Structure 1
Amino acid sequence: MIFESYYWKLPLIESAQRIKELVQAKNEITEQELVQLEKDIFIGFYSIRKLLEAPGKITDLARAKTVELNCHTNLSQVDWLNSHKLDRIYNITNSNQETHPILFVCGRIIHSFVFAPVISDIGVLEAIAFTSDIDKNKKLYKISAVAVPELFELFGNDDVVRLVSFRDPNTGEMKVSGAF
């Protein structure tokens, strides 16, 4: 359980800034930057999930956030030997858009079997490709590199100023019915 959310939210803002710099970079992304990006993505989405699971740490508005993803259908069996060959195991040329709750995206990234930054021909970060062990033989998801820092800033700057709670008459547990 998260006690003080500030210490979970501040790193989201810092990660958002680093990712924005990669999106706007004029030079090719270095190996060190790719490693930092990977850490920022995994820790960032894990932090968002923990904030969502902790009562009263995130407003209802942020909790209801949905995310647009580009999805590519699977072409062949995915395993640890070929998971880096995205153009062979997924239909990269065609995609469709899907909208998913933020918690879905957090889970798929945290438990990703495939995870790869999508870099443009000029070396700029365009998207993050990912899929979980559950979905690896169904589809590959892509989230825009611009959307990631927007999400991190949304959750990093989200402050609950009013909380409505009640005691569940059946279990005796405190429940949050609204966070604003």
Structure 2
Amino acid sequence: MKIPAPAFRVFEKISGTCEHQELILPQSLIVAGVSGGVDSMLLLSFLHYYRQKTTFDLLACHLHHGIRKGEADLDEALVGAYCGQHSIPFVPMREDIPAFAKASGLGLEEAGRLVRSRVFDQVAAEYGEKKIYKGGCRIALAHHLDDRAESILMHMGRGAGLRGLIGIRYLDGPLIRPL
């Protein structure tokens, strides 16, 4: 896999985080939640690269959320094409998040967060049961430093106290956030 020097440096920095935080264990399954946006495509590219260093199975899951129909179709096609080009198993899922938000009385963002979490958990459970993974099964998300700062501010605004200052963790149960 040929990688331009700037991307290689970024990937090596993320590799260091993965190793230091023990995010990706040998002989594990990593389900990458991939929206098709820049951050999640970077995550998927990194995970593809990182398989050269550590033996793990990689699966990409894309959730078509039914919000920006034409753009969401393009996002799904982009992720599917990348996965096909790099021999990464691809699981496209579809959910009507606007309908769920309306039925549940939630805002669109909160409904989206809940549905994404449910879908990624479901895919990880389904594919994690097909093979015994000594390293377990984890779900990789493309949250990064800006997302961490936003989370800290949101937690503080809700009065979360010192615990709210933690923000988004690299490892939180089955979720990993290497970026």
TM norm. shorter chain > 0.5: no
Q: Which structure's residues are more often helix, by fraction?
A: 2
RCO (CA 8 Å, sep 6+): is it higher in 1 or 2? 1
Bigger radius of gyration among the two: 1
TM-score, length basis structure 1: 0.27
Normalized against structure 2, the TM-score is what?
Answer: 0.27
